[in-house]
Amino acid sequence: MTELTLKGVHNEVEELKKEVKKMKVLVEEDFELSENAKKELAESRNEDVSTYVDEEEVTKEFS
């Protein structure tokens, strides 16, 4: 089992801070959807919700 020390916890927190900084950079970037993604999004918005499969049915099928 790994020994828990204040220095070890500090190092892990510092590593987490670095990872969060990287994620913030990615989230803040401006991304543009591809034309194909825009087309699929528009099509999905026009789908009839009644054709969707209920979560309970999926859970039953794969349980």
State the pLDDT at residue 60. 92
Dihedral (CA of 28, 32, 36, 39) sign: positive
pLDDT single digits (tens) 12-53:
999 999 999 999 998 888 888 999 999 999 999 999 988 889
* Residue extents of the structural domains in the chain: 6-62
Amino acid at 46: N
State the pLDDT at residue 2. 60
**Helical spans, DSSP H, in 29-54:** 35-45
